[in-house]
Amino acid sequence: MAEKKEKFYLTTPIYYTNGLPHIGHTYTTVVADAVRRYKKMRGYDVVMTTGTDEHGVNVERAAKNAGIPESEFVARMADAWRALWDELGLTADEFVRTTDLGHVRTVQWLFRLCKENGYVYKGHYTGQYCIYDNAFVTDAKPGDNCPDCGRPTETLTEENYFFKLSAFQKPLLDFYRKFPDFIQPESRRNEIISFVEGGLKDLSITRTTVRWGIPVPGEEPHVFYVWFDALTAYLSAVGGPEFEKRGMWPADLHLVGKDIIRFHSVYWPAFLMAAMLPLPKQVWAHGWFLMDAAKMSKSKGNVVLPRPIVSVLGMDALRYFLLREVVFGQDGNFSYDALVTRYNSDLANGLGNLASRTAALIEKNFESLVPKSGERKSQDDAVAKEAHDAIGEVLERYDKMEFARALEAIWGVIAAADKYLTTEQPWTLGDSEAERVRKATVLWTTAELLRIVTALAHPVLPESTAKVWALLGQETSVTAVELDGLRWGQLVPGTPLGKSHTLFPRIDKSEAVERIEAMANEELNPAAEPAAKPTASAHALGAAAATSPAAGPAGKIGIEDFTKVEMRVGQVKTAERIVGADKLLKLTVDIGSEIRQICAGIAQFYEPTSLIGRKVVVVTNLAPRKLRGVESNGMIVAASVGPDGRPVLAGFHEDVEVGARLK
């Protein structure tokens, strides 16, 4: 019988719904996704949770501005967050919303446990409150600004339920001492320990000044303070009161930004201690990505959005940059220039070049079959040893969340492989028996180096490594590789190579930056469309989600919404690939009344010539937009099939007239 896998439960913060993800949020989620993939490759049964934090004054205000009920506002924003994560390939196992009924029940249950155990009492509180951060500002006087966001605070007096945080000073300090790895990195741990040593004040955990929140049962108008509500989402995502059944709690890793470490390493364990529930194993705080040395924020107008980067350079490029550029735990500066430089040097010239060079040499010399290594020389063994040593080092670095160092070690092997090829020059060897054996040895060795780096880089570069894996003719998916079993020498001679793709086409820096910036501008300031006018509190996409015409209950739409989408039968006239965009085809499509230019993300699955004359379904009334700098005026409808979302074009079994409307 198969051994039961050890579990690993990790979380991202649950994100506020008054805006949509920028690079900062994307960073936390990318890290979580990389850890999730890595842990799976180490044989764990992994669950990753993300979600949306949907209560509080900010949402009340944003919904009011949008002129819709809060429930509808947050439903749209949650959909938009989820859709963006899906688009970016960041797939969590659980997406928890704080308006989910299961979550509401879990918060009420946790409160009851804390109260039954004597850690909750009723009192009054007057203080300065920051409505942007949803927190009272300790020690602030009237007129003071919030130290975190710099905006004015408001004086508030409320009847509250208080949580006896003061009772947990010693238990928390004992806990930090007993589990020195609980707070990471070390610098944050020291910061938190001195904060707790300085004394803990009781914490008000309910509000009467806020309407949009989870009600305290039998105590209306009290609703729960957003952090009591939000932190509990980690538990509700894996079963809430029935967490034992699912077997995932306690969390093994809470990934957070440094701004919210205190909530996670002081309040959260204290709530759980009060309820006598198991405590999480680790809280890891990363630094911020700064833009022009300042924290990104919509109000400063310096946000970097993920979608334009992904559309110009691909998701793997963004993931690589985020994890390679800064030491995890420290702040880093975001710059498009540095991003494209890394893309060209490490991805296009590094991994991409090694893969295409290796494949081309094997194709030319060994009819695309992995050759068999002959007698080995010392230089062959030297690179083999480098790869062997890298396996151990990379796993150790990943375990310590040292992503930049892990990638450095992997890229060290890529550099060694390049150097090996350049010194051995297999292309200069002839066809005598001895030279063929030598050529085979060098190429098998290079391909084996490529296989090792591909497996090791997979958690960070899921898309491109899957392609290299297929190129190396490996039958099982790279996601299924067990890193603990990865050894030098496992590449089987005679394996037929798969299809070669250009993984990372080289790109001109200024052109790439220009394209990214243009797309970002378009996303932040879309062409004025009444239904999508940005509100002050959400960037364009968020605002569009929040202000588009009313949806019915539970996200259902009425027929009048459906009829707003105009779909017609189109016929493809021309189809061509777009240089530098290996997923996109540029099509011209006859829709009856006119010929439209439309870009479709189907290039990896459809040969352009096979499409000419084909009848397709076109959404004809979408606002035109630019994809990779090419105008697209409409959208081709396709089913998204299988785990990779392979597009399959919608079509007809009977003859249909071009231009006919679908109803």
| Interface contacts to ligand MSP, rule CB under 6 A | 13-16, 24-25, 27-28, 53, 230-231, 233, 256-257, 259-260, 288-289, 295-296
The residues facing 215 across adjacent strands are 223
Taking the least distance from each CB to ligand MSP, the nearer of 8 and 289 is 289
Q: Closest separation between CB of residue 232 and ligand MSP, Å?
A: 8
Taking the least distance from each CB to ligand MSP, the nearer of 97 and 467 is 97
What are 116's two structure tokens?
A: 């039954």
**Cα–Cα distance measured from residue 540 to residue 594, given in angstroms and rounded to the nearest whole number:** 30
Q: Closest separation between CB of residue 657 and ligand MSP, Å?
A: 49
DSSP summary character for residue 151? P
Taking the least distance from each CB to ligand MSP, the nearer of 25 and 207 is 25
- Residue 124: CB atoms within 10 A of its CB come to 10
Q: Closest separation between CB of residue 332 and ligand MSP, Å?
A: 9
**Closest listed residue to residue 175, CA positions, set 268, 260, 249:** 268
What is the amino acid identity at position 75?
A: A
**Closest listed residue to residue 296, CA positions, set 506, 481, 21, 622:** 21
Q: Closest separation between CB of residue 53 and ligand MSP, Å?
A: 3
**Closest listed residue to residue 403, CA positions, set 525, 286, 251:** 286
Q: Closest separation between CB of residue 365 and ligand MSP, Å?
A: 48
Taking the least distance from each CB to ligand MSP, the nearer of 306 and 647 is 306
Q: Closest separation between CB of residue 130 and ligand MSP, Å?
A: 13
* Residue 584 and residue 632 in contact, taking contact as beta carbons nearer than 8 Å: no
Taking the least distance from each CB to ligand MSP, the nearer of 134 and 204 is 134
Taking the least distance from each CB to ligand MSP, the nearer of 256 and 272 is 256
What are 527's two structure tokens?
A: 């062409």
Taking the least distance from each CB to ligand MSP, the nearer of 27 and 168 is 27
Residue nearest to ligand MSP (CB): 257
Q: Closest separation between CB of residue 107 and ligand MSP, Å?
A: 12
Distance of CA 283 to the CA centre of its chain: 18
**Closest listed residue to residue 581, CA positions, set 511, 624, 626, 628:** 628
**Cα–Cα distance measured from residue 422 to residue 358, given in angstroms and rounded to the nearest whole number:** 12
Taking the least distance from each CB to ligand MSP, the nearer of 16 and 343 is 16
- Which whole-number Å values give the CA distances from 1 to 4, 5, 6, 485, 656, in the listed order? 9, 12, 15, 19, 56
Q: Closest separation between CB of residue 272 and ligand MSP, Å?
A: 13
Taking the least distance from each CB to ligand MSP, the nearer of 257 and 580 is 257
Q: Closest separation between CB of residue 300 and ligand MSP, Å?
A: 11
What are 71's two structure tokens?
A: 């429930």
Q: Which residues of 586-620 are buried (b: 16+ CB within 10 A; e: fewer)?
A: bbbbbbbeeebebbbbbbeebebeebeeebbbbbb
Cis peptide bond prior to 553, omega within 30° of 0: no
